[in-house]
Structure 1
Amino acid sequence: MPRENNFSKEHVSFAKKIIEEINSGLIKDSRTLDDRSFFWSKFFKLKEMPSHPFIYSFASVSEKKQKKFISLLSIKPTRSLSGVQVVAVMLPPFPCPGNCVYCPSQFEGKIAPKSYTGFEPSTLRAQRLGYDSYKIVSNRIKQLDITGHRAEKIELIFQGSTFTCLDKKNQESIVKKSLQAVIEKKTTSFKKIKFLAEKSKRRVVGITFETRPDYCGKEDIKQMLYLGGTRVELGVQHADDEIYKIIKRGHTVDDVISATSKLKDSSFKVLYHLMLGLPGSSPKKDLKNFKKMFKDPNFKPDMVKFYPCLVIKNSQLFKDWKNGLFDPISERDAVFVLSEIQKEIPPWVRVMRINRDIPGNIISAGIKTTNLRQVVDEFMKKKGIVSMDIRSREAGLMSREKEVDYSKAKLKTIFYNASEGEEAFISMESKDALFGFVRLRNPANPFIKSIKSNTALIRELHVYGKALSLGEKDDESTQHRGFGKELMDEAEKIAKEKFGSKKIAVISGLGVRDYYRKQFNYKTEEPFVSKVLK
C-alpha cells in the first residue's frame, strides 16, 4: 500500500470509499464503478477523477488477489490472458551494422537505439532510467504489480538495434542486471544468477533477443543460449534480394534461411519481423512474398510481427519521399494485404503484433492509425475472413467474449517439414478454442554439443489462460489443469515412435526448469533440460 502522506487526504478518502463499496457489493460492474467514482470525486471536490490503478494501489494484499478487484480495477486485462507478463528492456544506443533507408538515426535530438525513434513507450522509459536494465525491469515490474497484473511469470525481451552486435561482456552485463531485478538479489556471478532465477519468487519463463539474420551464426546462437535465450526475433522485413538491395538491408535471403535453420536446430522459437510497403515492393508483391514465408519450408517462422513501412525524419527514405521518389503504402492497401494473408497463416503460427508503437505525430508519411490491428480485425469480420493463427484461438482471450468448454479439449497433431527438419505442432484444443500446445522438432543439422542427431527438441510448451501464481488453481483458467502433462506425454511418444529419438531436450526458461525436473524427471544439461527416452 502506498504511503498516504504522498497524496491529499481527499484522494486517499476517495480510494478508500471505492474499495469499501466494492467490498460491500454496491459496486459490481464497470458502469457502477464509473458512476460511484464520479459521485465521490464531486463529494471530495477533486479536480480530476483518480485512475483505477490509483484506487487499486490502496487495496490490501488480500483484496488485490480477489477477482472482483482485479476485474474492476486492473487495466489492460489482455496482458494477463496469455499467462505471461512481457517486460521490454531497451538496449542503450550503439552502432548498428545496417544502413537501411527507412531507419531513422535520431529524431529531434532523442537518444535512442537504431530502428527506434525515442518516442516509443519502452524507449521513453529507458531514457528516463538512463538505459539501466536493472532499473528498467524493476520499474516495469512495479507498474505491473500496482495495476493488478501478476508479474510472477515474466518474459524478458531485449529490444533495440542488433543485440548480437554488442560485445559479449556487455551482453552478459545487460542480461545479468535484468535477472537481478527479477529475483531481487545481486551477485557478481552470472552462473549464480541463473541458478537463483530457477527458484525465485518471480520466474523468468523466457528471454527474447532481437537481431539480424546476418548476425545470427553458430557462435551468436551459442552465446544467446548461454544467456538463457528461448526466442529470437529476426529482422527479415521482406525476403527478396532485389528489395534488400534497394533498401540497403545489407544481407541476403540466404542469410535468412541459414539463420532460421540454425535457430530451429538449436531449439529456439523463431519470430520474423515482416514489413509492408517497402521501396521496390507493392501490395501484390507483399502478399506473394508473405505467403511464401508460410509455405516454403526454408522459412516457416513460428511467430510474426507485421509492420507497415513509415516515413520518419532523419532517414534516407524521408529524403526520397520529399523528392517524390517514394509513396508509402495506404491504410486501405495495408488492411487488404494483412487481411488476405490471414487466410494463409497456418494454425501453428502466432501473429504477435500489427504496427509499431510510434506516435502518429512523428510520422511524416504513411499509416498513422495506432489501432491498425483492430481495423484489420473489423475488416476481416465484415468480409467473413477467419484467421486460424494461435492468437485468434487462445482460450484465455476467447473466454472474454464467450464461455469456453474445457471438457471438449482434445489432442491434435499437425506434422510439417521446415528448415530441413521435421516439426510436430501438438495442441490441446476444441472446435472453438486452443488451450495449449507443444512445438516438437526432429533437427536436421544440430551443432550444439548437447544435441545429437537422435535428439528431439521441444522448442515451446505453452498453456494459455490468465496468469496464475505457481501452484494456484482457478476454475476459469486453462493453466494448471494438467494440459501441460498431456502435451508433454504426447511429445515424448511422437519423439520416440515417429522420430526414432533416443533423447529429448527442452529449451526452457530459467524459471521453468524446476517444473520439468519435478513433473517429468528431466535433468539439467546446459543450456537445456533433457531426458533419455526409454
Structure 2
Amino acid sequence: MEDIILDILDALRRGENVDDAALVKLVNARARRTGADKRAFAKRRLLPYCQRVRSEEPERWASWGVTPELEERLLAVLRMKPRRSASGVATITVITKPWPCGSDCLYCPSDVRMPKSYLADEPACARAELNAFDPYLQVSARLTALSQMGHATDKIELIVLGGTWSDYPAPYQTWFVTELFRALNDDARAGVAANPALAAPGQDAGAVLASEDDLPPGVVERRARYRACGIAVDPRTSRDASEGAGDPGEGARGAARFQRAVDDGALTYNGAVRELYGASPAWCAAARWQVADMADLERAQRANETAAHRVVGLVIETRPDAVSPASLALIRRMGATKVQMGVQSTCQRILDLNDRGISVGRIREAFSWLRLFGFKVHAHAMVNLLGATPDGDRRDFARLVGDPGFLPDEVKLYPCALIASARLTERYADGSWAPYTADELMSVLVDDVLATPAYCRISRMIRDFSAGDILAGNRKTNLRQMVEERLRRPGPDGARREVREIRFREVGTSGVDVGALSLDVVPYETEGTSERFLQWVDPEGRIAGFLRLSLPDPALVARHAAELPVAPGEAMIREVHVYGMATRVGAEGRAAQHLGLGRALVERACELARDAGYDRINVISAVGTREYYRQLGFTDHGLYQQRRL
C-alpha cells in the first residue's frame, strides 16, 4: 500500500495530472511488479490508509515528505465521489422515525419500516434504520463516512427528511434538532481504524468495526441506551449505508407481517406504524427520553457557532397544508433555513386524481408565507402522475417555474415510479395508469430543464429507489446525466440549447478565474415580493456564486404584522452560496470560495435594497454562519440577523 502512495506522490512532484485513468495505470503497474492483488490498491482503500498513517504513524508520514500543498493535491487524487462537496458544502441527510402520516397519496409507497413515502433500502434510510433513527448516531455515521472519503466537513448542510415535520410532537422535533447539533459539536466521528475500506480483499468489512474502541463516547453511550430499551442498534455505526447495509435485523423481519397486511389492503400504513412503534414497549421507552426543550437547543446552537463542524444550512421537509406562520416561526427558531415541500403538481385535477388532498390555492399560500419568512423554497414536482400526459406535464412545470404564485428556488423533479406498497398499483393493474416510454420521459425532462429560469436549481431527477423496488417506471440511476447529455446536443434547428438552470451551470470542482467573473442581476416578481437573483458568472455562463434578495411588499407585511417576525421596510437575504469544492474554514485555494465573492454579493444586495427604499436588511442565517454575518455588520435580531442600510 505504501509503495503505490509513493508512486502517486512521485507523479505529483513531477507535475503530472493524476486523474482516475492515470491512477488505474499506476495501480496496475504496481500490481504487476509485485504480483499483488490490484484490489488491495483500490482507490477506496488508499485514502483510509493515508489517513491512518498520518494519524497513527507520524514518523512514516514524515518520511514521505508530504508538504501541505502536496497533501492537498494527494487528497484531490484520492477523494471519493468529489461531486458530493462540489457545491462548497458537505451534506448530511437524516431520517426521522416512522410516524403516522396526515395524508394518503395514491402514488406514495407505504414501507412500514420507514416514514411515509420512503423505502428501507434507500441509502439514507438504511443508515437511519441501522442507527434506530437516532439523529446523533446518523450524523456520526455520515460525518465519519464523509471524512473517510476525503471531504471537508467544516461546513455542513443538514437535511431532515421523513414526510411532514410538523406531524411529529414538538418535544421530539426539538430533541431531534438538538441532537443533530450535539453530534457536530462533539465531532462524533469514528476513529481512523474503524473504516471498512481497510479490510483486506476477501475479508469481512464488518470485522474492522467490531470493536467500540474507535467509536466516540457519545455513540457508545447512545447505543447502550437503545439496547437498554430493547432496540437493536447495528454495531457498524460508522459504516456508510450506501456501500451496503447488510442484514436489516430482527426489527425488519418482524415488520414483514405488517407489510404484507398493508400491501394486501387489510391494514393501513398508519395502523401498522402505530402497532410497530406506538404500541411497542421498546419504542415507547425510548420516546420518554427523546424530548428536549428550546433552552437545550439554543445551548447547542450557540456552541455550534464556532464548532469544528458548523451548520450552514438546515432543511426541513413538510406539506403545503402544514405551512403556517406558527409552524414557520418554530422551525426558524430551530435554525431552519430551507423548506422542502411536496407540491407534485399545480393542476387541481391531477392533485385530486392522485388523492393529494390539497388545493392549488393552499399551495400558493404556502409559497407566499415561506418567502415572507425568508426561507428558501425547495419544491417537489412529479411527472407521469395518474391522469397526466407529457404535454400536460410540460405545461404544469412551466406554470410552477413561471407563475408568480409559485416560483420555487429549487426543484426535485422526478418521474412517478410504481412501488408495490403504493395504491397506484391498482390503477396500473386496470390500465388507467402506465409509465411514460423512455423517449417520452426524456423529452419531458429536457423541456422542463430548458423552461427553468436562471434563479432555479433542479437538485435531482430520481428517487433513491432500487431497481428491485420499482414495479414500473424509470429504473435508470443516471437519468440526470442522460438528460444533460441530450441538452448539450444541438436543438432541432441545429442551434446550441440555452440552459439557464443553476445546477447545469455550476463551476463544480473546477477552478475559478475571478478576474473573468461578472456580477449579473436577474429581477423577477412573485405574489408579495420583488426578487433579485445576483449571480457571479464567467464568460461561458457558468455560475460561481449567487445571492437571493427579497424585497417584500411593505403593505402586505403591514397587513400581516401580527403573524410575521419582520416589519415593513425590511429587505431579506434568503440565501448566499458560493461554489467550489468544500474547503476547510480559513483555508485558501482556487475554488470560488475564499475569494471574497460572498462579501461582494452581500454588499451589492444592500445597495439594491437601499436604492429600492428599504432601510434595514435581514438575513436568514444558519447557526454556523452567524459569525460570518457579524463580521459583515449584521447583528442578532430576533429570528434573523439584521443590518441598517
Common fold by TM > 0.5: yes
Give the partner amino acid of 1:58: Y
**What does residue range 41-52 of structure 1 map to in structure 2 within 5 Å?**
41=31, 43=34, 45-46=36-37, 48-52=39-43
Cα deviations across residues 416-460 of structure 1 (Å, max 9, x unaligned)? Answer: 111321111112223222221111111234456541011100000
Give the CA deviation at 1:497. 1.0
Measure the CA separation in 1 of the matches of 2:443 and 2:593. Answer: 36
- The aligned residue for residue 20 of structure 1 is 6
Cα deviations across residues 500-520 of structure 1 (Å, max 9, x unaligned)? Answer: 1111110011101100101x1
- Which stretch of the first structure deviates more once superposed, 406-415 or 204-213? 406-415
Q: Does 1:485 align with 2:485?
A: no
The partner residue of 2:464 within 357, 367, 383 is: 357
Measure the CA separation in 1 of the matches of 2:118 and 2:430. Answer: 24
Give the CA deviation at 1:385. 2.6
Measure the CA separation in 1 of the matches of 2:169 and 2:528. Answer: 31
- The aligned residue for residue 281 of structure 1 is 388
Measure the CA separation in 1 of the matches of 2:383 and 2:513. Answer: 38
Measure the CA separation in 2 of the matches of 1:52 and 1:184. Answer: 29
Give the CA deviation at 1:526. 2.7
Cα deviations across residues 240-287 of structure 1 (Å, max 9, x unaligned)? Answer: 111111100111111110111000000000011000000011101000
Cα distance change on mapping 1:449 and 1:256 into 2, 3 Å? closer
Measure the CA separation in 2 of the matches of 1:102 and 1:229. Answer: 28
Q: Does 1:466 align with 2:581?
A: yes
- The aligned residue for residue 196 of structure 1 is 303
Cα deviations across residues 179-226 of structure 1 (Å, max 9, x unaligned)? Answer: 111111789821110111111111110000111000111111011101
Contact 1:450 1:525 in 2 (8 A): no
- The aligned residue for residue 176 of structure 1 is 178
Measure the CA separation in 1 of the matches of 2:628 and 2:466. Answer: 41
Give the CA deviation at 1:75. 1.3
Contact 1:297 1:418 in 2 (8 A): yes
Contact 1:309 1:329 in 2 (8 A): no
Cα deviations across residues 456-478 of structure 1 (Å, max 9, x unaligned)? Answer: 0000011111211222111x211
Give the partner amino acid of 1:51: A
**What does residue range 291-370 of structure 1 map to in structure 2 within 5 Å?**
291-370=398-477
Cα distance change on mapping 1:28 and 1:465 into 2, 3 Å? closer
Contact 1:93 1:112 in 2 (8 A): yes
Measure the CA separation in 2 of the matches of 1:166 and 1:51. Answer: 44
Cα distance change on mapping 1:365 and 1:508 into 2, 3 Å? same
Give the partner amino acid of 2:618: A
- 1:57 is paired with a residue whose SS is helix
Contact 1:53 1:146 in 2 (8 A): no
- The aligned residue for residue 124 of structure 1 is 126
- The aligned residue for residue 534 of structure 2 is 426
Give the CA deviation at 1:332. 1.3
Contact 2:453 2:501 in 1 (8 A): yes
Q: Does 1:375 align with 2:482?
A: yes
- The aligned residue for residue 219 of structure 1 is 326
Measure the CA separation in 2 of the matches of 1:113 and 1:380. Answer: 35
- The aligned residue for residue 550 of structure 2 is 441
Identity %: 31
Contact 1:22 1:28 in 2 (8 A): no
The partner residue of 1:505 within 618, 625, 631 is: 618
- The aligned residue for residue 379 of structure 2 is 272
Measure the CA separation in 2 of the matches of 1:233 and 1:226. Answer: 17
Contact 1:235 1:273 in 2 (8 A): yes
- 1:236 is paired with a residue whose SS is strand
- 2:413 is paired with a residue whose SS is strand
Give the CA deviation at 1:39. 4.5
Measure the CA separation in 2 of the matches of 1:359 and 1:151. Answer: 28
- 1:451 is paired with a residue whose SS is coil
Give the CA deviation at 1:330. 2.1
Q: Does 1:229 align with 2:336?
A: yes
- The aligned residue for residue 6 of structure 1 is none
Give the CA deviation at 1:101. 0.7
Cα deviations across residues 65-87 of structure 1 (Å, max 9, x unaligned)? Answer: 72322222111111222100110
- The aligned residue for residue 567 of structure 2 is 452
**What does residue range 51-66 of structure 1 map to in structure 2 within 5 Å?**
51-59=42-50, 60=54, 66=71
Q: Does 1:97 align with 2:77?
A: no
Q: Return 5+ residue gaps in structure 2 as ranges.
A: 56-60, 188-217, 219-291
Give the partner amino acid of 2:430: N
Paired residues, number = 509
Give the CA deviation at 1:390. 1.3
Contact 1:439 1:461 in 2 (8 A): yes
Cα deviations across residues 333-380 of structure 1 (Å, max 9, x unaligned)? Answer: 111011112222111111111111111121000111111101111122
**What does residue range 147-158 of structure 1 map to in structure 2 within 5 Å?**
147-158=149-160
- 1:422 is paired with a residue whose SS is strand
Measure the CA separation in 1 of the matches of 2:486 and 2:565. Answer: 48
- 2:396 is paired with a residue whose SS is helix
Measured on the aligned residues, the alpha-carbon RMSD in Å equals 2.0
Contact 2:387 2:433 in 1 (8 A): no
Structure possessing the higher radius of gyration over alpha carbons: 2
Contact 2:28 2:38 in 1 (8 A): no
**What does residue range 511-530 of structure 1 map to in structure 2 within 5 Å?**
511-518=624-631, 520-530=632-642
- The aligned residue for residue 388 of structure 1 is 500
- The aligned residue for residue 409 of structure 1 is 517
Contact 2:325 2:564 in 1 (8 A): no
- 1:67 is paired with a residue whose SS is helix
- 2:106 is paired with a residue whose SS is coil
- The aligned residue for residue 90 of structure 2 is 85
Give the partner amino acid of 1:119: D
Which aligned runs of 4 or more in structure 1 are off by greater than 6 angstroms? 185-188
- The aligned residue for residue 191 of structure 2 is none
Q: Return 5+ residue gaps in structure 1 as ranges.
A: 1-13
Measure the CA separation in 2 of the matches of 1:224 and 1:147. Answer: 32
**What does residue range 132-143 of structure 1 map to in structure 2 within 5 Å?**
132-143=134-145
